[in-house]
Chains A and B, each alone.
Chain A
Amino acid sequence: MKKITLLVLIFILSGSFAFGQQVLLNEQVLPDSTRRDWGQNKSHWMHFYGAFGFITPINQSTWSPIYFGKASNWELGLRYKKRITNWLAIGGNISYDFFNYRMLQSVDKTFPDQQLYDEQKVLIHNFSMQPFIRINYGRRGNIIGNYVDLGFFYNAIMSSREKMLGTPSGLDKVIIKNPSYMPGDYYGFFANIGFGRWSIYAKYQYSGIIKGDTRYADLPPVTIGLQIGFF
């Protein structure tokens, strides 16, 4: 077994090894290296990305009130893009998409309940799938360039929590796992305005999250944030 390992090791090392001499430069000229399909503005491109944004409290009388600046969204995903023309591409993201709804503690709140706490959060962990079309603008070479993405997202809720700190009953912390008002999934639309690796994104939860339960005003649907592509 040890001999085999040694032989394999020698074989791997010998790829660019002059016995007793030091290889200073070892370049292989790939015949297709200048015409590969993979690249930022080539036929296929894939990269990881990360995003952070804030859930925006648009019209707090219609939607459940939240703390702006503390209600946030994190996302880590993998993006694939297929170039159709120099200005048009289609693609898809799969991602882990996390929402932290930090609920405003006001006397007229109805969701998730009417009680007041020191702190109350609704946390949703999603597996997200996001097909999109991309419109590029500005002439460019093999770079991402400037673009607008318009897409649809489908979020499958992997788990959710309702978390309360400083409850009226005197408990320091109460956590409700997968609360009953939380659906299995929801969907909506999103847009990215991108400049190279950076983009500004906006998501709109069209289906609503707890829309089925009419006792509650739904969670605010709009999230706006910043995204960075890792490439």
Chain B
Amino acid sequence: MIKNYTTLLLIFLIISFGNKAFAQDSYWVFFTDKKDVQFNPYEYFDAKAIARRIKNEVPLSDPTDWPLNENYVKAVSNMVDSVSGQTRWFNALAVIANAEQIKQIQNLSFVKGVEMMNYYAVLASNKGCNPQYNNSNLRTRQLEILGLNDFLKKGINGKGVRIAVFDGGFPGANSIIAFEQIRKEQRLIDTWDFTKDKAFVYYSISHGTEVMTNIGGLAVRDDDSIQYGLATGAEFLLAKTEVKREPYSEEKNWLMAVEWADKNGADIINSSLGYTKDRYFRSDMDGKKSLVTRAGNMAARKGILVVNAIGNDGDTRWQTMGAPADADSVLAVGGIDPIDNYHISFSSFGPTADGRMKPNVCAFGSTIVSDPNDYAINVQGTSFSSPLVAGFAACALQANPNMKVMDLFHLIEQSGHLYPYYDYAHGYGVPQAKYVLTKQREEVKKTFEVEDKGLFLEFTILDINENNIGSSSLMYLSIEKNNGKLIHYQVINVTQKKFMVESLYPSHWDNLEKITIFYNGYIKEIQLDK
């Protein structure tokens, strides 16, 4: 009996290891060229995609949009067990194959290279709800802080702007009240499930439904209406790219979805996920390494604004963003706490591995959404900061319809309430509708004086109001090196008229350029001559 048991245990070990060691994997097979392919942009693209390309001065017949060479596809398909997808942008075929098959494929003259795929994505969401938040108050504030009233006054609601949402599932999106207007007005343009290759996306996890409500949810009941997002007039494309709530999925789906969104005329993509430590090192978050990061940049080159959550690893060992938030042309969105209006603990920090500022902007990291049962619930995660900004971007684009994508990107950055101050927790702060509508900043009076006393900075607040609470009491300080990168930053809660801040840098730090201080709109720089 005991002998049998031991034998069984050994068999189990061998099978466990054997399965792992010899299983097939998913690969991208990159081709050298697109020789002899035919492409008609007017047949392939939606009219809106054509218009977007013309506006952004993107060639209508760009080789990256051409189909793959059918002969190459056939040849590789015959050598592997299955083909799971393809990307025109990167001229590659997704295959499932074993090591021996891959070895043979690599020897083909038209194969440029083979790369194993990443399977693991993390949806930047749902850390659980916070009972401290009052739902209706928070729901109003999550939009007002972005300038809801300024958009409403101008009748701006994202009308005519097409937004693609990439997520894990959209149960209830075809039935809940929050999207009734969208359905009535036939603004739900198209859907596709990249995990099962079919059109039906109204199942699986509710994350996508909740995210979408923070872009353009508006529940109208009798005389009452509940608004969850800014872009209540936008059009939508829904792509199911993730398999589970977290953590597993495939970069392949994201890549194929971004091309699908491009083809179907998306102006904006909201993506609330990130690829992090399961494949990458922190040093890989350099805007070049991952395929989805490169796809994010490629989308921008084709005139699409990609809005991506920065991630929820601020309080984990990973701490930094997940791809594609590291892409320089992807608008990475961080989270702030609705209670005290500064960085919410789980929101990932920048900069990128090569020292670029991320996140670009921020919004509430705890929001109210509609769930698939029409309940307004509190959710947390930068997954929900991102759609708030995607909705904002749609409104900004409606207000500036001729604006090219990177001009829109920079306009949103410049509208940040901290701009031009920035740090690696907040970026340029919360985007402001007033700025994107007027492109003018209100004149700010001096709010403080500061004197460098060597070991200390001595502050005198000029407009102190003892009752100030929330954002108006927050002072932001950063130290910049002469290479333009921040080395230290702080947020402090100002409660006194006069106070001192201990010098922010140790004496051995070299090459320091300046200290920048932001308080109630006023910015002061102190040059350091160290």
- CB-CB under 8 A for A19 and B502, given A24-B340, A142-B281: yes
- CB-CB under 8 A for A20 and B495, given A33-B282, A141-B277, A141-B280: yes
Asked if B3 and A27 make an inter-chain contact with CB atoms under 8 angstroms apart, the answer reads: no
Stretch in B121-129, B483-491, B522-530 with 4+ CB within 8 Å of A: B483-491
- Is B438 part of the contact surface with A, judged by Cβ < 8 Å? no
- CB-CB under 8 A for A18 and B502, given A33-B282, A39-B281, A57-B2: yes
Q: How many residues of A contact B (CB 8 A)?
A: 43
Asked if B283 and A35 make an inter-chain contact with CB atoms under 8 angstroms apart, the answer reads: yes
| Chain B neighbourhood of A56, CB < 8 A | 2, 6, 9
- CB-CB under 8 A for A140 and B278, given A19-B500, A25-B342: yes
Q: Mark A12-38, 1 if CB is under 8 A from B, else 0.
A: 001111111111111111010111000
- A189 smallest CB distance to B (angstroms): 15
| Chain A neighbourhood of B276, CB < 8 A | 141
| Chain B neighbourhood of A23, CB < 8 A | 490-493
Q: Mark B468-489, 1 if CB is under 8 A from A, else 0.
A: 0000001100000000011111
| Chain A neighbourhood of B495, CB < 8 A | 20-22
Q: Enumerate A29-83 residues with CB–CB distance to B below 8 Å.
A: 29, 31, 33-35, 39, 41-42, 56-60, 68
- Is A193 part of the contact surface with B, judged by Cβ < 8 Å? yes
Asked if B493 and A14 make an inter-chain contact with CB atoms under 8 angstroms apart, the answer reads: no
Asked if B496 and A21 make an inter-chain contact with CB atoms under 8 angstroms apart, the answer reads: yes
Asked if B499 and A20 make an inter-chain contact with CB atoms under 8 angstroms apart, the answer reads: yes
| Chain A neighbourhood of B9, CB < 8 A | 56, 224
- Is B153 part of the contact surface with A, judged by Cβ < 8 Å? no
Q: Mark A208-231, 1 if CB is under 8 A from B, else 0.
A: 000000000000000010000000
In the bound complex, how far is the Cα of B279 from the Cα of A142, in angstroms?
Answer: 7
In the bound complex, how far is the Cα of B345 from the Cα of A27, in angstroms?
Answer: 12
In the bound complex, how far is the Cα of B353 from the Cα of A6, in angstroms?
Answer: 40
- Is A148 part of the contact surface with B, judged by Cβ < 8 Å? yes
Asked if A193 and B16 make an inter-chain contact with CB atoms under 8 angstroms apart, the answer reads: yes
In the bound complex, how far is the Cα of B405 from the Cα of A63, in angstroms?
Answer: 76
Asked if B342 and A24 make an inter-chain contact with CB atoms under 8 angstroms apart, the answer reads: yes
The winner among B6, B340, B349, B485 for most chain A CB atoms within 10 A is: B6
- B249 smallest CB distance to A (angstroms): 15
- CB-CB under 8 A for A18 and B500, given A25-B343, A141-B277: yes
- Is B501 part of the contact surface with A, judged by Cβ < 8 Å? yes
- CB-CB under 8 A for A142 and B499, given A24-B342, A57-B2, A58-B3: no
Asked if B502 and A200 make an inter-chain contact with CB atoms under 8 angstroms apart, the answer reads: no
Asked if B6 and A58 make an inter-chain contact with CB atoms under 8 angstroms apart, the answer reads: yes
Nearest residue, chain B, Cβ from A135: B21
Asked if A139 and B284 make an inter-chain contact with CB atoms under 8 angstroms apart, the answer reads: no
Asked if A24 and B488 make an inter-chain contact with CB atoms under 8 angstroms apart, the answer reads: no
In the bound complex, how far is the Cα of B17 from the Cα of A15, in angstroms?
Answer: 50
| Chain B neighbourhood of A206, CB < 8 A | none
In the bound complex, how far is the Cα of B279 from the Cα of A26, in angstroms?
Answer: 29
| Chain A neighbourhood of B489, CB < 8 A | 25, 27, 29
In the bound complex, how far is the Cα of B488 from the Cα of A26, in angstroms?
Answer: 8
Q: Enumerate B107-122 residues with CB–CB distance to A below 8 Å.
A: 116, 118
| Chain A neighbourhood of B281, CB < 8 A | 39, 41-42, 141-142
- Is A138 part of the contact surface with B, judged by Cβ < 8 Å? yes
| Chain B neighbourhood of A17, CB < 8 A | 502
| Chain A neighbourhood of B277, CB < 8 A | 141-143
| Chain A neighbourhood of B487, CB < 8 A | 28-29, 31
In the bound complex, how far is the Cα of B277 from the Cα of A23, in angstroms?
Answer: 30
Q: Other CB < 8 Å A-B pairs besides A34-B320, A139-B116, A200-B13, 19 of them?
A: A18-B501, A21-B493, A22-B492, A22-B493, A23-B491, A24-B492, A25-B489, A27-B424, A29-B489, A33-B282, A34-B353, A41-B281, A42-B281, A141-B276, A141-B278, A141-B281, A146-B20, A148-B17, A193-B13
Interchain Cβ contacts under 8 Å between A and B, 5 examples? A16-B490, A19-B502, A22-B492, A27-B349, A224-B9
Binding site for A on B (CB under 8 A): 2-3, 5-6, 9, 13, 16-17, 20-21, 116, 118, 276-285, 320, 340, 342-343, 349, 351, 353, 423-425, 456, 474-475, 485-496, 499-502
